[in-house]
Amino acid sequence: MYERLEKIINMYDVQPHGHELSTSTHYINGDDTQLNNSETMLYMLLNYMSNIDDVNLTNIDKSLLEKIDIKNFQVHKDLLDKMWSKFDKKSSPSRKVGDMFWSLLPYEELGDLRALDIGCGSGRYSEKIWNWSDKSLKSYTGLDVFPNKEWSKMKSWGLENSVQVDFHKTNIDLENLLDFIPDKTNFFMSQSAIEHIKYDLKYFQSIQKYIESVDFPVYQVHLFPASESLRLFLLHGYRQYGLNSIVKITKIFKDSSIELIKLCGNACNELHYEFITDPVYISRTGDMRETKAKEYDEKLYEAILKDSKEENHSPAFWALVIKNEN
């Protein structure tokens, strides 16, 4: 048993203090459907230990932490009522709250928006950002490891609405991100993507190199799972992010203003566990968003309101906003 564990530890390059190009202590990919029981247990254990260190702020550089403006995402009842019907009723709590956050960003600060979306999936955020930014999106480039059948449809949508839409199948862990950044890109975005990037620090270092090469403002917005997401999503990507990990990212951008917003609190998290985590992954009785759709919709509405009123000590997701004015 111990020999097998030692072999797995060596195979996945487990490093208690992290890696030079990654915030992770290991390289076990939770998305790998071929993980055996030992690998699965080690993934959960290592991420749990990393998350505990993050909660305790072990070994964190307090001077770097002080440069981050940390706040709760709050949405009041009147605004929630106005927005509620605009979002997918069956979205997970973190996806719905995340989309609310995206919809409220001050896109007008950048003027014409030229976006690069890492881990773009279907590319549907091109249309969403176009709408939320009052149609200021002029170009959108999506990168993903896997091609998506929706890409051709989104390209056609772009032609119809005077938005240059492009997609590239690429693995930025293996290729140079700088080769895929179009000229005049001023907005880097990702939605639940960086936890799937093995060398996440390398990715952000590449963005900083790009920023240093241009003379106009560049904004970044990245939404990714916080420590609490380990119990909600279980095997998902390489990691979750606590403040220790986030500081490793933000110190790359020394001349930027940085905001960190907490998305989803205890109420949303417990609802996620009750309607998604337990029935889908543990008891395997089926996704309750399907079988109890009306109840889920009503409870999520109340959970978002409750989380907006309380101090959030256990966010499910973070929104990291990095602004470089150049």
Reading phi first (left if > 0) and then psi (alpha if -120 to 50, else beta), residue 35 is in: beta
Q: How far apart are CA 91 and CA 88, in angstroms?
A: 5
Q: How far apart are CA 247 and CA 143, in angstroms?
A: 25
Q: Among 70, 49, 14, 1, which residue's Cα sits nearest to residue 257?
A: 70
Burial of 270 (0-12, 13-18, 19+ CB in 10 A): middle
Tens digit of each residue's pLDDT (9 = 90 or more) over 246-297: 999 999 998 899 999 999 999 999 999 999 999 999 999 999 999 999 999 9
CB 123 within 8 A of CB 90: no
Q: How far apart are CA 116 and CA 219, in angstroms?
A: 11
Q: Is the pLDDT of residue 105 over 80?
A: yes
| Secondary structure class of 137 (helix, strand, coil) | strand
Quote the pLDDT of residue 114.
Answer: 98
Percent of the chain with pLDDT over 70: 94
Tens digit of each residue's pLDDT (9 = 90 or more) over 24-52: 989 999 999 999 998 999 999 999 988 88
Sequential DSSP letters for 201-224: HHHHHHHHHHHHT-SS-EEEEEEE
Q: Return mean pLDDT, the chain.
A: 93
Q: Which residues of 19-54 are buried (b: 16+ CB within 10 A; e: fewer)?
A: beebbbbbbbbbeeeebeeebeebbbebbeebbebb
Q: How far apart are CA 44 and CA 239, in angstroms?
A: 10
Quote the pLDDT of residue 255.
Answer: 87
Tens digit of each residue's pLDDT (9 = 90 or more) over 210-242: 999 999 999 999 999 999 999 999 999 999 999
Q: Structural domains in the chain? A: 66-324 (3.40.50.150)
CA 195 → CA 27, 237, 239, 240, distances in Å? 11, 5, 6, 7
Q: How far apart are CA 69 and CA 300, in angstroms?
A: 27
| Secondary structure class of 317 (helix, strand, coil) | strand
Residue 322 belongs to what H/E stretch? strand 317-324
Q: Is the pLDDT of residue 2 over 60?
A: no
Tens digit of each residue's pLDDT (9 = 90 or more) over 132-160: 999 999 999 999 999 999 999 999 999 99
Quote the pLDDT of residue 65.
Answer: 86
Predicted confidence band of residue 19 (pLDDT cuts 50, 70, 90): confident
Q: How far apart are CA 62 and CA 262, in angstroms?
A: 19
**DSSP designation for 184:** T
CB 206 within 8 A of CB 143: no
Residues 6+ apart with CB under 8 A from 194: 118, 119, 200, 203, 222, 224
Predicted confidence band of residue 66 (pLDDT cuts 50, 70, 90): confident
Query: What would you report as the CA-atom Rg of the chain, rounded to the nearest whole angstrom?
Result: 20
Q: Is the pLDDT of residue 1 over 60?
A: no
Q: Is the pLDDT of residue 56 over 90?
A: no
Reading phi first (left if > 0) and then psi (alpha if -120 to 50, else beta), residue 217 is in: beta
